[in-house]
């Protein structure tokens, strides 16, 4: 019961529209994905057949519990990568979104879960995490190299010096 990238995109788009509007119309989805209305109709038929979407011809579009669950998972993957790209890598928001929108379809649950653990570790550990990421931002902007330590390194160096005394 694998979904193609394309069908996942439709599901996610429906999910995102519903978050704002309680129910989606085909045109909303078409605009969001920049495809023809007829392509949406096509996709809807498949998604209804698979039990992921509720939709009678000419009627509004909602998600079944199963469809909602899958859509939520896809949207979550999107967010994780978008945030990593913009916050940590300082990629512009448009590129970050597009890239997240591709990766979300190909990253297995197992891998993104581990990735999130990794990011959490970096962010939560108050003895380095957040400052570590900030240190990267510093290095990136300043174009520093090993001989020109970032804030985190500099601080650590100082401490080392102090404790040697």
β-strand partners of 24: 61
What residue 97 binds from DNA, a second copy, none (CB within 5 to 8 A, per partner kind)?
Answer: none
Q: Which stretch binds DNA (CB under 7 A): 11-19, 27-35, 76-84, 157-165?
A: 27-35
What is the spatial distance between Cα 122 and Cα 65, in angstroms, rounded to a whole number?
34
Q: How many residues bind DNA (CB under 7 A)?
A: 26
What is the spatial distance between Cα 21 and Cα 91, in angstroms, rounded to a whole number?
30
Comparing CA positions, the residue from 118, 115, 91 lying closest to residue 104 is: 115
What residue 85 binds from a second copy, DNA, none (CB within 5 to 8 A, per partner kind)?
Answer: a second copy
Residue 150: φ, ψ to 5°: -75, 175
What is the spatial distance between Cα 32 and Cα 79, in angstroms, rounded to a whole number?
17
**Residue placing its CB nearer to DNA in the complex, 17 or 80:** 17
- 136 touching a second copy, by CB under 8 A: yes
- 122 touching a second copy, by CB under 8 A: yes
Q: Where are the beta strands (DSSP E) in the chain?
A: 53-54, 62-63
Could you say which residues in the range 41-100 bind a second copy, by CB under 8 A?
85, 88-91, 95-96, 99
Cβ burial, residue 77 (10 Å; 0-12/13-18/19+): buried
What residue 95 binds from DNA, a second copy, none (CB within 5 to 8 A, per partner kind)?
Answer: a second copy
- 58 touching DNA, by CB under 7 A: yes
Q: In this structure, are residues 96 and 85 in contact, taking their beta carbons and an 8 Å threshold?
A: yes
Q: How far is the CB of 54 from a second copy (least distance, A)?
A: 31
Interacting residues with a second copy (CB under 8 A): 85, 88-91, 95-96, 99, 102-103, 106-108, 110-111, 114-115, 117-118, 121-122, 124-128, 132, 135-136, 139-140, 146, 149-150, 152-153, 156-157, 159-160, 162-163
């Amino acid at each position: 019961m694998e979904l193609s990238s394309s069908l996942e995109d439709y599901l996610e788009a429906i999910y995102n529209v519903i978050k704002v509007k309680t129910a989606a119309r085909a045109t909303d989805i078409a605009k969001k994905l920049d495809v023809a209305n007829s392509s949406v109709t096509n996709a809807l038929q498949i998604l209804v057949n698979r039990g992921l979407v509720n939709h009678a011809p000419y009627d509004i579009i909602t998600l079944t519990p199963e469809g909602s669950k899958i859509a939520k998972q896809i949207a979550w993957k999107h967010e994780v990568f978008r945030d990593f790209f913009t916050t940590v890598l300082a990629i512009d928001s448009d590129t970050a979104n597009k890239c997240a929108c591709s990766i979300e379809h190909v990253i297995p649950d197992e891998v993104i879960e581990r990735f999130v653990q990794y990011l959490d570790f970096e962010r939560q550990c108050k003895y380095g995490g957040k400052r570590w990421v900030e240190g990267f931002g510093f290095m990136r902007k300043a174009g520093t190299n090993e001989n020109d330590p970032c804030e985190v390194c500099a601080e650590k160096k100082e401490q080392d010096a102090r404790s040697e005394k």
